[in-house]
Amino acid sequence: MKLFQKALVALTLFAFMFAAEAASEKYMPFVLAYTATGDVEKVKKEVHKKLVDAKFEVVGSYSPYAGASVFIITNDALKSNAAKSEFGGYGAVQRVSVTKVGSDIQVSYTNPTYMSHAYRMKGDLKDVTKTLEKTLGNKEAFGASKPLRTRKLRKYHYMFGMEYFDDTDAHQIAEHSSHEAAVKAVEGNLAKKLGGVSKVYRVDIPGKDEVVIGVDLDQTPGGDKYMSDDYIMGVIDFKEVKSTAHLPVEILISGDKVYSLYYRFRIAMNFPNLSMMGENSFMNIVESPEAAKTALIAVAGGEAVKGYWD
Each residue's pLDDT tens digit, 60-112: 999 999 999 999 999 999 999 999 999 999 999 999 999 999 999 999 999 99
pLDDT at residue 222 in the model: 66
pLDDT at residue 221 in the model: 67
pLDDT at residue 224 in the model: 83
Exposure letters 62-93 (e unless 16+ CB within 10 A, then b): bebbeebbbbbbbbeebbbbbbebebbbbbbb
pTM as predicted? 0.89
pLDDT at residue 22 in the model: 39
pLDDT at residue 303 in the model: 75
Chain segment 254-279, per-residue pLDDT in tens: 999 999 999 999 999 999 999 999 99
pLDDT at residue 161 in the model: 83
pLDDT at residue 147 in the model: 96
pLDDT at residue 180 in the model: 98
Q: Are 237 and 143 in contact (CB under 8 A)?
A: no
Regions in the chain scoring below 50 on pLDDT: 1, 3-4, 6-23, 305-310
Q: Are 111 and 141 in contact (CB under 8 A)?
A: yes
pLDDT at residue 274 in the model: 94
In 66-144, the DSSP E strands lie at 68-74, 94-101, 104-110, 140-142
pLDDT at residue 310 in the model: 34
pLDDT at residue 14 in the model: 41
pLDDT at residue 94 in the model: 98
Please give the domain boundaries of the chain with CATH numbers for all domains.
26-154+161-300 (3.30.310.70)
